[in-house]
Structure formats: structure tokens, C-alpha cells
A and B are shown apart, each in its own frame.
Chain A
Amino acid sequence: MNAIDVRLRHRLGTFQLAVEFRTPGDGVTALFGPSGCGKTSVLRAVAGLLRVGQGLVQVNGDCWQSDTHFVPVHRRALGYVFQEASLFAHLSVKRNLLYGWRRVDPAQRRLGFDTVVELLGIGPLLARDTRRLSGGERQRVAIGRALLTSPRLLLMDEPLAALDQAARRAILPYLESVQRELGVASLYVSHDPDEVAHLADHLVLLDAGRVVACGAAADLLTRLDLPLARFENATAVVQGQVAHYDPDYALNWIELREGRVAVAGAPLPAGGPVRVQVRARDVSLALRAHTDSSILNVLPVQVSALEDVSDAHRLVRLQLGDGQMLLSRITRRSSDTLGLRPGMALYAQVKSVALMD
């Protein structure tokens, strides 16, 4: 029963929410959609903060709501991170963190206080007054406070939306390490495609109170019929394995089934699985494998679909040898010059890839 099942029907004024999805009960599931599509309402309903008349919420075998059954919010093993940190103003940072922690039966505590504090880097803040924290610090404390209840499901409602760009970039690695180190299943609401590409393992795409698509992030990110591939910064996520580190050039070589890519930076442990991000606009296409250019990463691919995204640009969905997908954003003119059509075999030249975890 390692799954999260959600089925909700609810009327909010003139807005009709009719949502049904099932997502794996581990990793991060992002609820993605434009403002007003109902993603926050879905999250609040899963938590029990929004009481919907007709609903089913099941989390890894625990039934939180059904037609005959409604578990009150405080009896659900969940953590909730709101858009604004919402720390208790009358308590210190430490007592904020302990507020939920001391209400959990010690036998049920899976995450240690010191572990969480260290992971989020909030040790130096413990004695501080919550009003003296920066936006990013406040949100890290709020995440820690939620984690310290050892939730079976962590619900996050655009936790980075209220932060400026710099704070957002600073906090993302913490969120990633929360997922990597603690392995808490999460539902993550976002309208930022970058964030989704960064964090999500699974995706539920929402629009106007309905589920548009639901599935693995790597697949939905590159689907040309869905909105994520059409963003300016559209990104594909590819899984590979660290082959070796080249100390002369400070490059990690990451092996795919056919071909390899180079990532600059500190050496990674060889043999480990890694995920890399490839932006659509960093991928150009060639009919032959060039070795006479500055581009290191050349991968054999097959065109799986094409779609015009503007008068000038075309998006190409490419399949790697092992079935993983890439996106390439090129001009229509280049596409026509190369004579691209589905099924065609060619080479993707990737200018740069970024490591995800």
C-alpha cells in the first residue's frame, strides 16, 4: 500500500474542485499548475484543514478521510509548511521546533532533534527571537518544525514563494537534502517550473480544479502536449551513473546507456546513481556526431515528437537509447533545414548539464 490516494469533490463559491490522483508513497510529488487552479485547496484538503464533503485521502495505508471517516488534523501524521513561515511569535526558535516534537509519542519519533537541526543548519538560530530571523531562516525553522513531528507525509505549500531569488537559491539545497537524507514522502505545491524540475520525482498537473496529467516527473516534464515543456526554461531530467572523475580537467563523467556527459565540480563517488538536468535551450541537434566543436556531450537520440512553440521556435522531444527523454528548443528554420521528423535518428549536442543531487 505504498501509495497516496486522493479523491476530492468540493465547491468553493463558483469554483468546482474535482480531483483524483494516485501517486507513489515515497519521494516528492509536485502539484503543479497556474495560480487559482486549486492546488493549495487540494493540499489543505489532504491535511484536513479544508473540510470537503466528498473525499478520500489515503496515505500509505492510513485512511485520513473517506465517506464515513474523518481524522481531525491533529491526529494525522503529517507535517505542513505554509507559504509564510508562520512561526509562533510568542515562542523562541527552539520552542517553535519543540512545539510539535513534544506532542509525538517518543516511540513514534523517527527523526532526531539534532539530525533535523543540523540538516537545516538552524543550530545557530535556536536561542534567537523569531522576529530577528531573515525570510529564508524563518522558512528553514518552519520546515524543521514540521519535520520534527516525524510526519509520514510532508505537505509544502509553495514554501519558497515568499522568498527573494537569493534566499530561494540558498534554501533549495536544504530541501533537496531533506528529501535525500530523510526520505519523507512529500506533496509539494508549486507554480515554478524550475522548482518542480529540481525537486519532483512525480507530478500532478492541475488546471481549473482538475487533474490534467499525473505521472513520473521525467516523463511529464518533456511531454510536448503539457505546459511544462513549453516554459522558457523547460528542462529534462536524466538519470545516469558516475563513471569516473578526470582530475586534470575537474570533470565528472556520467555514463548513460549510450554516451556520456561531463559535469564540472568536485569529484563524485564512482558508480553512484545521479540525476542531471538538461535545459531544452542548451540542446542543439546535428545529423552526425561532431568531434570538432567545443561541445563535450554528444548523445545519440531519436526524434519522438515535434511541436511549434512560437512562430520562430520548435520544441523537439528526443529519446535516448535507454528510453529517457530530452528536450531541444531550436528554430523552426533549423528544424526544416535538417528535415526533422518523428523516428529520425540524430545526435544531441548538450552545451551544459547540471547536477541535481
Chain B
Amino acid sequence: MEPYWEPVWLTLKLATVTTVILLLAGTPLAWWLAKTRSWGRDLVGSLVALPLVLPPTVLGFYLLLLLGPDGPLGRLTQGLGLGTLAFTFPGLVVGSVLYSLPFVVQPIRNAFEALGERPLEVAATLRASPLARFFDVAVPLARTGFLTGAVLGFAHTVGEFGVVLMIGGNIPGETKVLSVAIYDHVEALEWAQAHWLAAGMLVFSFAVIFTMYRVEKRWR
């Protein structure tokens, strides 16, 4: 039997990598969604929001097809000499990024929209270039959106199950995350181990959300 900490460590690693990728990729996407007036906005906005309503297994299923040895992306990664991503940690990251996308993009987008044009116009009249306006004004003023997005993205990735099971499987140390480990323990009637992990997760989740509310309140 693998040690306790292995799924815990794997889960934290997955959630951290996913959150960082989502903050880096989600911020420009959220900015574009908040600012553009092009017709593509609603289309892209709907695609981003899709994981909110889709059963995780559906997302996992299609990802499996896409990333698998016969899928178009699978062929691409094999052609690049990377092998297939299905049932690997990078595959899990791809799935988690897509699955948690709306939880990060939506709060940041809302924060950018709530900002309005005025602070950016003021900054422009104070000689700030577009890039400086973004980093010195938009980002700090939207910080609660970033906090909410990061926490929700992280927590949501920690809690995911369906997508992981579909595209990651159950390989100890590689793809066996917390939620899968708990499921395994229950299946094997190892109630004590399941308890440890489940209760730990409960406490952790509560602590994260509670801290987020406190920090958010102070930032307002």
C-alpha cells in the first residue's frame, strides 16, 4: 500500500500547477471577455462556462478521446515525441485546467467589469501606458477577483473526481489524487483511512474558504 501522503502531495501539486496556469492564461482571457465588444465574446464566454454545467465524466470522456493514442492531440504529442498524455500527470493538468477554467476566469472577469473605464482613463491622462494601466491600476483594483479566482480554482481542482478518473485513472504517485484515494479506501472497506483523508479534506476546504472571506473583507 502506498503511503498516506502520496495522494495528498499529488493533489496539492496538481492544484498548485493548475492554479498557476489558470491565473496566467485566465487573466488575459478574462480581460478580453470584460473589454471586447466583438460578437465572439458570448461564444467564448459560453465555452469557458461549459464545465459548470457539464458532467465531469463527459469532459473526461472527450479529453480521453482527444488525448488518447488515436485522438488528434494524442497523435500530435506522439509526433512531438512526448508520448500520450492520457493516464499521466500532465494529462491530469490539462483536464483540471479545462475543468476549473470558469472558476478562475469568471471572478476575474467580473472584477474587471466592475472596474469600469474610469480608473483606466484617469491613468491614461496621468501618462500611464496601456501596460502600466493594466498592472498598476486594473490588477490591484481587481485583486479580490484574483483572490476568489485563485482560491476557487485551487479548491475545485483539489475536489475533482470525475475528470481525473476518466483521463487519469488510478496510478499511485502519478494520477491517484485524494478524491480517488478516498474512493478506493471506501471500496476496500478501509473506513479508518477514508476517514483520515476525508476529514482532512473537510478541514482544509473550510479553512481555505474562511481565510478567503477574511482577506477579501480586509481588501475591500
Q: Could you tell me which A residues sit within 8 Å of B by CB distance? A: 47, 49, 72-75, 78-80, 82, 84, 86, 88-90, 99-100, 103-104, 145-146, 149, 155
Contact = CB atoms under 8 A, between A and B. Distances in A.
Nearest to A72: B124
Contacts of A145: 126
Interface string B121-153: 111111111101100110011010000000000
A103 B121 CA distance: 15
Given A74-B127, A100-B127, A103-B127, A86 B141 contact: no
B218 interface: no
30 contacts: A49-B124, A49-B125, A73-B124, A73-B125, A74-B123, A74-B126, A74-B127, A74-B133, A78-B125, A79-B125, A80-B121, A82-B118, A82-B121, A82-B122, A84-B118, A86-B122, A88-B119, A88-B123, A88-B141, A90-B140, A90-B143, A99-B126, A99-B136, A100-B125, A100-B127, A103-B126, A103-B132, A104-B127, A145-B126, A146-B125
Contact of A89 (B132, B133, B136, B141): B141
A88 B137 contact: yes
Given A86-B119, A88-B119, A80 B125 contact: yes
A103 B127 CA distance: 6
Contacts of B124: 49, 72-74
Nearest to B133: A74
Contacts of A155: 125
A332 B136 CA distance: 62
Of the four ranges (under 10, 10 to 19, 20 to 34, 35 or more), the interface on chain B belongs to 10 to 19
Contact of A80 (B122, B132, B141): B122
A49 B120 CA distance: 10
Contacts of B140: 90
Residue of B122, B124, B130 ringed by the most chain A CB atoms within 10 A: B122
Contact of B122 (A75, A78, A88, A103): A88
Interface in B83-126: 118-119, 121-126
A47 B125 contact: yes
A146 B123 CA distance: 10
A149 B127 contact: yes
A190 B132 CA distance: 32
Contacts of A86: 118-119, 122
Nearest to A47: B125
A88 B121 CA distance: 11
Contacts of A88: 119, 122-123, 137, 141
B38 to A, nearest CB: 17
Residue of B125, B129, B132 ringed by the most chain A CB atoms within 10 A: B125
B141 A74 contact: no
A99 B127 CA distance: 9
A103 B128 contact: yes
